[in-house]
Structure 1
Amino acid sequence: MTYIGRFAPSPSGPLHFGSLIAAFGSYFQAKSQQGQWLVRIEDLDPPREMPGASSLILNTLESYGLHWDGSVIYQSQRHQRYQEQIDSWLASGLAYYCQCTRKQIKQGGGFYLGTCRHKSQLTPEGCSVRLHVKQAIEQFTDQKHGVITIPHQLAQEDFIIKRRDGLFAYNLAVVLDDIDQGVTEVVRGADLIEPTGRQINLYRYLNQPEVSYIHLPLALDEHGNKLSKQNHAPAVDTHCAKETLIKVMLFLGFTLPDDFQSASIEQMIEWGCQHWSLQQLPNSLASSTL
């Protein structure tokens, strides 16, 4: 089977060092398997998006020598696909409307307890849509780190697939997109371990083969905080791409040749594809520092 990987940034800001790690980690894994590497823009949440960020992200990838296979997919153009699946589950009883607010759930202990599961009188107005989790996924296998356990209460929650504000939930969209694009393995940051069980549940509800997962170490700032757009991580500089790429490759565990600095971006990436191995990644899921 052909390997298909992907990089799926959200356009809430420009690429930072942490997102570049995810981009190169997924690219090296795909190309070391002679596979395809897709790019998808996850523009599901307009209030959080930065105007022009999608183009800026794609231009940055190209300036770092990362060229994707096929066309870029935008989640904002796939709403009908998501809604059709939700309607199907609502009709079958696998999904239901929920009127509970975050405040109410927090007051009830912080975990959703299925309060609205049998309230058939609820309508879409002012409600989210939740998936009825009949069999919790409390463990999954990461291709680098082995068996990872998900907390019981989190795993058994009926989770949201459409928000109260009408926006589609990340878990639903990402799984449908990966299925439709034929993705075989997901390589991403360790901050996305938590939703993995929910996503596996979606594959099973859809009767689709599950992808495999690899979670990469996180980059921290000098204060020990995860590099993220929410934490105002600085954008990567496209004018010193070689220097930044070397930092990314060292972060990913490569032992670089002494003369690596003299190579071109293209030569660096080709060397990385040839020498990439999951064994070189840190063995711990603990975040790594810059």
Structure 2
Amino acid sequence: MSEVKKIATRESYGNALVELGKEHEDLVVLDADLAAATKTGVFKKAFPQRHIDCGIAESNMAGIGAGIATTGKVPFISTFAMFAAGRAYEQIRNSIGYPKLNVKIGATHGGISVGEDGATHQCNEDFALMRTIPGMVVVCPSDDVEARAAVKAAYEHKGPVYLRFGRLAVPVINDNPDYKFELGKGIVLREGKDLTIVATGLCVAPALEAAQRLAAEGVDAKVINIHTIKPLDEDLIVAAAKETGKVVTVEEHSIIGGLGGAVCECLSEKAPVPVKRIGINDVYGESGPAVKLLEKYGLDAEGIYRQIKEFV
């Protein structure tokens, strides 16, 4: 059996920017002294005149991006999720969100899989922060195929978009001819009747694996990939909840305010069913190898499987 191809979605981000840059001269990329880590360096090499290094000044970068957007260009401002959603929150809210400017936020190194950089850099709060900004679209792709599609869709969308990418290489699971990316639309990856697993980002692949393990024990789980956390595909979530009667959410984010929060808000109003939120349980991360951290915090296939077993 051939080994599954793996690639970090931050790599996909850089590559997608280059491809879009060839087609669209109005695309401009900004970074905050992290071009090598965010992978915007490949765009800088290809289009040096359309790349701006703003230095270690993320809040200023958000303001510069806002200014560039008023000229009709499409800026992608890029840095770690902790600095994009956290440090520059006020500028994103007031300078980008409030005037509804066409700025795209490429936030790499999201979640605890940042690994050895530790709790200060492991942003598990970005979905919650960005969801509260009116008009902000929030996207977390699950693999290379989806990340590239998400960057293209973000460019085509008129208005602010927050895109979260990861540091850790993850399996490519969407490389099939039927794959279609659409902002605000979830994707059913596996049909099932006993419960629904709703996952996003890095957690989609292990959620699928957990579902396969559950199937071997007679538990038939439906698996939905929610790449767009805002706007949430409420129709799909509600239909799945009514069909299966139980829902589990899985995310590399705090269980407060992220995918789990969005799903619970939706279902409490439209289809109340038991919900189990799997994610970071209101704690800070810690320094360590990314794979080991995912295991410790129950976000690998074994941990997801075990928590769902306890739930059902």
TM-score, scaled to structure 1: 0.29
Greater strand content: 2
The structure with more radius of gyration: 1
Normalising to structure 2: TM-score of the pair? 0.28
**Bigger RCO (CA 8 Å, 6+ sep):** 1
